[in-house]
């Protein structure tokens, strides 16, 4: 059975104290209100990770993750953070290939493949983001863009490793814009992603992989999106900064 997952992406928001308060609120709300088996992940800026990972130890189903790592083990890379360092504070996940990293920091599929490898080596589950731009959607080439991102970013993995990653479909035109893919549009792409994984590996493995939707997901649209056959949860940006909204999205799976 594949996992239902709701992951928050705080991006570059919240100072340390604000992050600790928000995480504590989420943990308390989850404890009181969440009854399902869904996994909940909060991907914070690096500075919060030690503090929130300590709080997560007593929290049912809540894990923590980073939003990026460097592709090398260690060394003279001033200002960077390694997979081993992230793992050492108790985080379990890392978002890789977010469209903001691809667009503003020049991250290519080739670089991301290396980050995926080092994440897996240090037992961090990659939440590997893929998705097309507005132009690619309008020109109809989005399926080939998505296939290329998968092929170059994660299809080098052996099946044993691939089964431990999470895919997030995030159409770039829907991120932070208030525009959401319709449940049908999202389902169409999620089914395609599962089909391509089935062709690369096998259908049993494709069936086990959690594929999250991301892009202006909120408590209103999450129920319709998450009820689609191939959508196993969400990667939540803006709405993860409010404990009520984030918890309400998690509760879609109650």
If the CB atoms of residues 51 and 215 are measured against ligand PGA, the closer one turns out to be: 215
Asked if 236 is part of the footprint of ligand PGA (rule: CB under 6 A), the reply reads yes
Binder of ligand PGA out of 27, 55, 56, 235 (CB under 6 A):
235
Which neighbouring-strand residues pair with 130? 169
Q: Among positive and negative, which fits the CA dihedral 158, 205, 223, 32? A: negative
Non-local (6+) Cβ contacts of 69 within 8 A are 81, 82, 83, 86, 94, 96, 115, 118, 119, 124
Binder of ligand PGA out of 238, 243, 248, 253 (CB under 6 A):
238
Asked if 51 is part of the footprint of ligand PGA (rule: CB under 6 A), the reply reads no
Asked if 8 is part of the footprint of ligand PGA (rule: CB under 6 A), the reply reads no
Smallest separation, CB 218 to ligand PGA (Å)? 8
Q: Count the helix, strand and coil residues of the chain and give each as a percent rounded to the nearest 5.
A: 50, 15, 35
Q: Residue 113, Cα to own-chain centre: how many angstroms?
A: 16
Report DSSP state, residue 216.
S
Q: How far apart (Å, rounded) are the C-alpha atoms in residues 133 and 12?
A: 22
Tell me, yes or no, if 170 is annotated catalytic: yes
If the CB atoms of residues 215 and 233 are measured against ligand PGA, the closer one turns out to be: 215
Binder of ligand PGA out of 4, 5, 6, 9 (CB under 6 A):
9
If the CB atoms of residues 168 and 206 are measured against ligand PGA, the closer one turns out to be: 168
Tell me, yes or no, if 98 is annotated catalytic: yes
The residue from 100, 107, 170, 190 that is catalytic is 170
Instruction: Please give the torsion angle defined by the CA atoms of residues 16, 21, 27 and 29, in that order, rounded to the nearest 10 degrees.
Output: -150
Nearest residue relative to ligand PGA (C-beta): 237
Binding mask 195-234 for ligand PGA (x = CB under 6 A): -------------------xxxx-----------------
Non-local (6+) Cβ contacts of 114 within 8 A are 71
Smallest separation, CB 235 to ligand PGA (Å)? 4
Closest CA to 94 of 17, 34, 163, 7: 7
**Sites for ligand PGA among residues 131-190 (CB under 6 A):** 170, 175-176
The residue from 48, 70, 98, 190 that is catalytic is 98
The H-or-E segment that residue 129 falls in is: strand 125-130
Question: Can you give the binding site for ligand PGA, defined by CB under 6 A?
Answer: 9, 170, 175-176, 214-217, 235-239
Residues with catalytic function:
98, 170
């Amino acid at each position: 059975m594949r996992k239902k997952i709701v992951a928050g992406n705080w991006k570059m928001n919240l100072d340390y104290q604000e992050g600790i308060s928000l995480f504590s609120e989420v943990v308390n709300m989850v404890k009181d209100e969440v009854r399902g088996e869904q996994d909940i992940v909060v991907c914070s800026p690096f500075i919060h990770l030690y503090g929130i990972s300590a709080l997560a130890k007593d929290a049912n189903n809540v894990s923590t993750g980073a939003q990026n790592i460097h592709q090398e083990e260690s060394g003279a890379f001033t200002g960077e953070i390694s997979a081993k360092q992230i793992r050492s504070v108790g985080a379990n996940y890392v978002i890789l290939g977010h469209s903001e990293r691809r667009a503003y920091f020049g991250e290519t599929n080739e670089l991301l493949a290396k980050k995926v490898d080092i994440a897996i080596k240090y037992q961090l589950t990659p939440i590997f983001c893929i998705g097309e731009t507005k132009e690619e959607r309008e020109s109809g080439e989005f399926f080939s863009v998505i296939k290329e991102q998968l092929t170059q970013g994660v299809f080098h993995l052996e099946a044993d490793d691939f089964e431990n990653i999470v895919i997030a479909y995030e159409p770039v035109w829907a991120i932070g814009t208030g525009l959401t893919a319709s449940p049908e549009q999202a389902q169409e792409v999620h089914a395609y992603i599962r089909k391509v994984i089935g062709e690369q590996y096998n259908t049993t493995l494709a069936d086990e992989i959690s594929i999250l939707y991301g892009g202006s997901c909120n408590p209103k649209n999450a129920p319709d999106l998450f009820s689609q056959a191939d959508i196993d949860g969400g990667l939540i940006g803006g709405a993860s900064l409010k404990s009520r909204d984030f918890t309400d999205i998690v509760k879609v799976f109650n």
